[in-house]
């Protein structure tokens, strides 16, 4: 989806929501175009959170609080209390964005049943970027179909406790 630059000239809640999301994705996606498998999997420090084959991750239960993903590859997941400050691989960051867009879409516009644990994670850079792109595209299309009132609806998404109590406009750009 190309960025609609005319959006910055329209002062409305929807233009702000779509503009922020579209511009952020434009910048990020341009940075991911030439991502290599080595860059994707590179660990900036020993013990970095990553995306690994399930068997490898399950063999090291001390490394992660839990694992996210439905397939052969999973993302190691820190405790949700913010206490773990380990570095993350680019693979982990892309997986996290993918599962976040997936879960938020599912609990806003989808079946309201699937979670981040239902995401199939990619095994390489190109597939990971393609999966993230597909999730962002679905989210952007669904957001674009909302009207001005819907974008300000509190609790339109039920993905997280924050979603349940926040106007959709705040969540649409995350």
Map out the domains of the chain as residue ranges: 11-157
The span from the CA of 135 to the CA of 140, in Å, is 9
Helix (H, G, I), strand (E, B) or coil at 75: strand
Phi and psi at residue 94, to the nearest 5°: -65, -40
pLDDT tops 70 at residue 127: yes
The per-residue pLDDT of the chain, averaged, comes to 83
The pLDDT assigned to 121 comes to 95
C-beta separation of 143 from 21 below 8 A: yes
The span from the CA of 43 to the CA of 41, in Å, is 6
C-beta separation of 4 from 12 below 8 A: no
Token pair for 118: 């239902």
Average pLDDT over residues 158-174: 63
Neighbours of 57 (CB within 10 A): 22
Going by C-alpha positions, the residue among 154, 157, 153 that lies closest to residue 108 is 157
The pLDDT assigned to 52 comes to 94
Confidence of residue 125 (pLDDT cuts 50, 70, 90): very high
> Is the Cα dihedral 26, 31, 35, 38 positive or negative?
negative
Query: In this predicted model, what pLDDT tens digit does every residue of 7-62 receive, in sequence order?
Result: 566 667 667 777 778 888 888 999 999 999 999 999 999 889 999 999 998 888 87
Q: What percent of the chain has pLDDT over 70?
A: 80
C-beta separation of 132 from 140 below 8 A: no
Range in 15-24, 37-46, 118-127, 140-149 the model is least confident about: 15-24
pLDDT tops 60 at residue 3: no
The pLDDT assigned to 73 comes to 95
């Amino acid at each position: 989806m190309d960025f609609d630059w005319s959006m910055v000239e329209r002062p409305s809640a929807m233009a702000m929501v779509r503009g922020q999301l579209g511009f952020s994705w434009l910048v990020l996606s341009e940075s991911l175009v030439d991502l290599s498998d080595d860059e994707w999997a590179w660990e900036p420090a020993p013990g970095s959170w990553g995306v690994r084959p399930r068997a490898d991750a399950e063999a090291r239960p001390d490394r992660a609080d839990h694992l996210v993903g439905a397939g052969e590859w999973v993302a190691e997941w820190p405790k949700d209390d913010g206490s773990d400050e380990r570095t993350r691989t680019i693979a982990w960051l892309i997986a996290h964005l993918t599962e976040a867009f997936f879960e938020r879409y599912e609990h806003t516009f989808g079946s309201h049943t699937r979670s981040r644990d239902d995401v199939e994670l990619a095994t390489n850079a190109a597939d990971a970027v393609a999966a993230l792109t597909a999730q962002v595209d679905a989210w952007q299309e669904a957001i674009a179909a909302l009207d001005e009132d819907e974008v300000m609806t509190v609790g339109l998404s039920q993905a997280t406790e924050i979603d349940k109590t926040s106007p959709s406009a705040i969540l649409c750009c995350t």
